[in-house]
Structure 1
Amino acid sequence: MTVLNKKIVPPHAIRTIEGLRDTGYDFNTAMADIIDNSIAADATRIEVFIEMDFGGAITIYIADNGIGMDEQGLDKAMTYGSPQRENLKSLGKFGLGLKTASTAFCRSLSVTTRNSKHSPIFKARWDLDHVAFVAQDWELLYLDPDERELEILEEVSNRGAGTVVTWEKIDRLLKDYQDPSGVHARRAFEKLIANLEDHISMIYQRFLDPNFADAQNVTIKINGKNIDPWDPFCTLEPETELVAEEEQDAEFEDGTKTSFVVRAYVLPRKEEFSSEEARKKAKLSNNLQGFYVYRENRLIHYGNWMGMYSNEPHSTLLRVEFSFDYLMDEAFNVDIKKSKISLNSDLYNWLKDQFLPAPRRAADERYRKGQKKSVKKVTKGAHDSSNKGIGSRQKELTMSEVEVKNKEKNEVEITNNKGKIRIKLPVLDQAKEGEVHVSPVDSLEDGILWEPALISTNHAVRINTNHPYYHKVYVPNLSSGVTIQGMDALLWALSEAELGTVNKETEYHLKEIRFAVSRILRRLVEDLPDPELGNNEPD
């Protein structure tokens, strides 16, 4: 191929700088991208000031005591697609985050910086209105710092090296309120700050925790409030279990070698936490289960199973740490916002097929132990109406006579229209006042849903509350007495029909029918939602 000519074709300034406002940042992710730059600059102190004036205008300052920049360094930092950092471990990855994260919410981005105590202070600004309506080109403004920026820089840097990032002309943060400074706007503003505090405590947990030795220690404040680290794995709780741990080596096509660590934690049930404060801090909820992926100790992804499974209550107690270094960026396809990742197929299959099955079983087992207690509590008295209703009709509906032959061995003799037969049947004493014809129990042999029984001479049915059908169909309808009576009546009738027709030829087949129906029902209700009850409710 013959090259006829060469041209440098720079991007259109106005279209590009406006278009890059729509890269999909949310506020928390954008702020984290700015803080990444502070950590990459070796800051040990980061302070965020989010201020609203009397007219509702918002200004944001993010300040640090990092290494700062000279004029040439500031030029590079403000360039869209700035040069790659020498330290490839840096949290700042693509050279776009400072600009795109900021202008996603503001039309004026300024950076004020100095690189030593005796160096001059430089301030550069991207003003989107200046680019669009005045220069109509990539014209970066150099200005004198204003009084507030100087005040913050001196305070946070202790009159040494440091940087202040300033957002002004913020136009995409709060929705348009009729009164931008009114009570509703103020409440939204306060909620915005509270959500940011939670986000920062999670994303930078390892940097904020002075006991975590593998990450540089950083203090972060928002409007003067210290942000404490949030540990998603509740590692200090005595009942937290580390149920699986793997360190795997990885080698790429170019010969690069690295490793990654995966750890699966099963958290305590709510009643197992050491204190109410610890329970609340754990934030047990459906949308916080799953993977917690750390790149160079910075959390970049959390709260789901990356397409392997859907979030569902049985996995609420399972949280899985995945820690890797910058060498695995391609394997994770880390995006520009460092907020979304996807796994290559080998890693995906290893996690799903080999690593996760055992931790999922452990979490499910712990969840169900608490679920049994909760079901027992919420179903107390739920079958009283059924007992009364069936008791009032028992004499006219029974199809057999049952005589106990050996109570200890649960041996009875059934007399029905087929003749007489000796079988094994649960023979129980009454555990509560009034006649018992429907008895909920924690489990039944072979996991069946129901079985006939004899309770203080009454023909009865025992119902397995641990069967998914009971949990997913009975429990959500506890407030509807008629529905519960109807389902109880059906199972009691099936039990009575079994006693009324059983003989030597049909005994085995009737048990098999119960087993088969119970198995089919288990499969049919798999996709029904789990009810939220007792100790398994999210905060």
Structure 2
Amino acid sequence: MSSSPALPASWQYDVPTNGSTRLPPDAGYAKALTNQGYGFEAAIADLVDNSIDAGAESVVVHFLRDSERIVSLLVLDNGRGMDDRELDDSMTVGRRRDYGGQALGMYGTGLKAASLSHARSLTVISRTKRSRAAGRKLTAEGIEDGFRCDMVDPEFAQRQIDVYDGLIEWHGTIVRWDRVRAFETVARGQSDQFLSEAISRLEMHLGLHLHRFLTNGLNLDIAVWDVETGEETDHISVDPLDPFASKVPGKAGYPRTFQAGVEGVGEVGLRAHIWPAKSKQAGFRQIGSLLERQGFYFYRNDRLVQAGGWSNLRSPEGHLVLARIAVDLPAASNEVFSLTVKKEGVEVTPAFTRGVEKATDGNGTFFAAYLADAEEVYREGASRAVVERPSVIPPGKGVDPKVKRAVAEELPVKGGEDPIRIEWVTLADDRFFDLDRDGHAILLNKTFRDDFNDGKRGGSNDAPVTKTLMYLLLQDCFGLGRWEKKRADRIEYWNSILMASVLAQRERRARTIS
């Protein structure tokens, strides 16, 4: 057996090198970039993160559609914008910029990876106070063709910004997705249903993960625009969905903070909450499976990056669904907490779980006592009798999201039924409303629309009080088998009485004006 040169003394700990070479990414990397597994809502949230980092006070997620299909999606903001050089940097695959300590961005890949995971074409148009409108367009084909990025015609860039002049006045950015894969799979005639479901999921995701920013004044809207008529067909404001905002604590003395000594990090605060048993508040019940939503909620710079889970401390259990713990991640980078690229989870080392097990509050109470308290509140609530309320078909399009949320909090919802939409349509002069039972719709006479909007043009979710009252009165007329004469007669005399009331309101308003 021939002898070989001896390895250096440090071979167990390091591998020596004797030179280097640069290896640019292969064009095939485009497939990896567009296959990052971003969920639709997570991808949009990543774009909104960029808007927040740019100092935006208002952000709009805008779906464009025509009569047959969903055309494209845009995310608009009134942040500080980007000039040509910054646009080039933002569209360079693999380039990382310097992120400030409070930035939500981390890896420099979110814009490209999130967008190209869903769209074959990504366009970014921007302008600053000191620079003209400019844009860059990146496509999957362009990346495969040597990472080619196309320059947007400056005149088009300016015209695109002019369309949104009410939001982008002196500075701001438009991120535009075209050839969106999910949109192209929507069958003809199914766009309304797809948008309704997509917007509902998006509203929940953004309201939850950005709830601290929304509470502190960020304006975030989701809108739908018909490119053929130029009309806005839907518009909602995203409200914060705070997973800790219970009206009363489940147990006196909570929330309370436990301090966990984590090796390599130092003290980490665990803000422990116990929800009231059987709470129907949106922040508890409308953010997903209760089993999955128990446990740790990690925040990075006020952005929720993990919504539930026990991070290897224990397994989810039904009797701990009331337990939620807010953890603000340390500002300094460390080896204990590792945030996923998509900002949907935090990987922790055993140092964190060891610290949690030994964590105590100011009185020396251990974290295990908190878990016991949460379990006790759950078991007491499970044995408590409650008044059964009638189940309802949920309200749908045309009803303000705040109302939808309140209905879901207060009443059990029937499964397997399409939501009841409410819309203004042309009806006979002697009809205030009508029912489309097959289409699950309450139809209001659009002749009277201005009367319930103070003479102003209303949006798709206008006249919330009127629509809510109509929903409460009429929701039990849907999902029935035989249509009884008694019920039909009720619809007729309600119509007569409501017609009298709206005409009386018109007369009163006319006298006030004169």
TM-score range, shorter chain: 0.5 to 0.7
Once residues 311 and 296 of structure 2 are traced to their aligned partners in structure 1, the CA distance between those partners, rounded to angstroms, is 8
Instruction: Tell me the residue number matched to 2:79.
Output: 66
Once residues 197 and 332 of structure 1 are traced to their aligned partners in structure 2, the CA distance between those partners, rounded to angstroms, is 28
Instruction: Tell me the residue number matched to 1:364.
Output: 375
> Is 1:311 matched with 2:321?
no
Change (3 A) 1:29 1:329: farther
Q: Map of 1:384-399 to 2, 5 A cutoff?
A: none
Once residues 283 and 141 of structure 1 are traced to their aligned partners in structure 2, the CA distance between those partners, rounded to angstroms, is 41
Instruction: Tell me the residue number matched to 1:219.
Output: 219
Change (3 A) 1:280 1:348: closer
Write out per-residue CA displacement over residues 5-40 of structure 1, whole angstroms, 9 at most, x where no aligned residue. Answer: x64321112x11122111121111111111111111
Residue 182 of structure 1 aligns to a residue whose secondary structure is coil
Change (3 A) 1:278 1:165: closer
Change (3 A) 1:240 1:187: farther
Instruction: Tell me the residue number matched to 2:173.
Output: 163
Instruction: Tell me the residue number matched to 2:63.
Output: 50
Q: Map of 1:184-263 to 2, 5 A cutoff?
A: 185-210=191-216, 217-223=217-223, 224-237=235-248, 239=250, 241=252, 242-247=254-259, 252=264, 260-263=268-271
Write out per-residue CA displacement over residues 154-176 of structure 1, whole angstroms, 9 at most, x where no aligned residue. Answer: 2222x1111110011111x3583
Once residues 277 and 86 of structure 1 are traced to their aligned partners in structure 2, the CA distance between those partners, rounded to angstroms, is 34
> Is 1:336 matched with 2:350?
no
Instruction: Tell me the residue number matched to 1:122.
Output: 134
Q: Residue 295 of structure 1: which of 286, 293, 300 is its match?
A: 300
Instruction: Tell me the residue number matched to 1:320.
Output: 325
Q: Structure 1 stretch 280-289 or stretch 52-61: which is displaced more?
A: 280-289
Residue 101 of structure 2 aligns to a residue whose secondary structure is coil
CA contact 1:153–1:164 (8 Å) conserved in 2: no
Pick the structure with more helix per residue: 1
Instruction: Tell me the residue number matched to 1:98.
Output: 111
Residue 346 of structure 2 aligns to a residue whose secondary structure is coil
Residue 342 of structure 1 aligns to a residue whose secondary structure is strand
Q: Considering only aligned residues, what root-mean-square deviation do their CA atoms show, in Å?
A: 2.9
Q: Which consecutive residues of structure 1, in runs of 5 or more, have no partner in the other structure?
A: 211-216, 378-539
What amino acid is the match of 1:266?
Answer: I
Write out per-residue CA displacement over residues 263-314 of structure 1, whole angstroms, 9 at most, x where no aligned residue. Answer: 11111112xx5x8788766878222211111011100001221232222220
Change (3 A) 1:74 1:359: same
Once residues 334 and 342 of structure 1 are traced to their aligned partners in structure 2, the CA distance between those partners, rounded to angstroms, is 6
Residue 155 of structure 1 aligns to a residue whose secondary structure is coil
Write out per-residue CA displacement over residues 173-200 of structure 1, whole angstroms, 9 at most, x where no aligned residue. Answer: 35835xx2323x5313320111000010
CA contact 2:219–2:237 (8 Å) conserved in 1: yes
Give, in angstroms, the shift of residue 55 of structure 1: 3.4
What amino acid is the match of 1:9?
Answer: L
Give, in angstroms, the shift of residue 57 of structure 1: 3.7
Once residues 92 and 363 of structure 1 are traced to their aligned partners in structure 2, the CA distance between those partners, rounded to angstroms, is 35
Change (3 A) 1:234 1:281: farther
Q: Residue 109 of structure 1: which of 122, 128, 149 is its match?
A: 122
Instruction: Tell me the residue number matched to 2:355.
Output: 350
Once residues 75 and 270 of structure 2 are traced to their aligned partners in structure 1, the CA distance between those partners, rounded to angstroms, is 33
Which entry has the higher C-alpha Rg, 1 or 2? 1
Write out per-residue CA displacement over residues 453-511 of structure 1, whole angstroms, 9 at most, x where no aligned residue. Answer: xxxxxxxxxxxxxxxxxxxxxxxxxxxxxxxxxxxxxxxxxxxxxxxxxxxxxxxxxxx
Q: Which consecutive residues of structure 2, in runs of 5 or more, have no partner in the other structure?
A: 1-15, 224-234, 360-365, 389-514
CA contact 2:243–2:284 (8 Å) conserved in 1: no
Once residues 317 and 71 of structure 2 are traced to their aligned partners in structure 1, the CA distance between those partners, rounded to angstroms, is 39
CA contact 1:111–1:123 (8 Å) conserved in 2: yes
Give, in angstroms, the shift of residue 237 of structure 1: 2.7
Once residues 91 and 128 of structure 2 are traced to their aligned partners in structure 1, the CA distance between those partners, rounded to angstroms, is 16
> Is 1:78 matched with 2:91?
yes
Write out per-residue CA displacement over residues 197-248 of structure 1, whole angstroms, 9 at most, x where no aligned residue. Answer: 00101101111113xxxxxx41111113211111111244355652531345
CA contact 2:135–2:157 (8 Å) conserved in 1: no
What amino acid is the match of 1:166?
Answer: R
Number of residue pairs matched by the alignment: 353
Once residues 291 and 238 of structure 2 are traced to their aligned partners in structure 1, the CA distance between those partners, rounded to angstroms, is 24
Once residues 17 and 275 of structure 2 are traced to their aligned partners in structure 1, the CA distance between those partners, rounded to angstroms, is 65
CA contact 2:142–2:149 (8 Å) conserved in 1: no
Change (3 A) 1:187 1:94: same
Once residues 25 and 288 of structure 2 are traced to their aligned partners in structure 1, the CA distance between those partners, rounded to angstroms, is 46
Write out per-residue CA displacement over residues 311-351 of structure 1, whole angstroms, 9 at most, x where no aligned residue. Answer: 22201111111112431454211121111211121112222
Change (3 A) 1:114 1:330: farther
Q: Map of 1:14-29 to 2, 5 A cutoff?
A: 15-29=28-42
Instruction: Tell me the residue number matched to 1:11.
Output: 25
Once residues 308 and 143 of structure 2 are traced to their aligned partners in structure 1, the CA distance between those partners, rounded to angstroms, is 39
Instruction: Tell me the residue number matched to 1:154.
Output: 165
Residue 369 of structure 2 aligns to a residue whose secondary structure is helix
What amino acid is the match of 2:137?
Answer: R
Once residues 335 and 276 of structure 1 are traced to their aligned partners in structure 2, the CA distance between those partners, rounded to angstroms, is 29
Instruction: Tell me the residue number matched to 2:474.
Output: none
Once residues 106 and 86 of structure 2 are traced to their aligned partners in structure 1, the CA distance between those partners, rounded to angstroms, is 16
CA contact 1:63–1:164 (8 Å) conserved in 2: yes
What TM-score, normalized to structure 2? Answer: 0.63
Give, in angstroms, the shift of residue 258 of structure 1: 6.8
Change (3 A) 1:222 1:95: same
CA contact 1:284–1:317 (8 Å) conserved in 2: no
Once residues 72 and 327 of structure 2 are traced to their aligned partners in structure 1, the CA distance between those partners, rounded to angstroms, is 36
Residue 51 of structure 2 aligns to a residue whose secondary structure is helix
Q: Residue 44 of structure 2: which of 31, 37, 44 is its match?
A: 31
CA contact 1:115–1:161 (8 Å) conserved in 2: yes
Instruction: Tell me the residue number matched to 2:53.
Output: 40
Change (3 A) 1:89 1:249: farther
What amino acid is the match of 2:258?
Answer: E
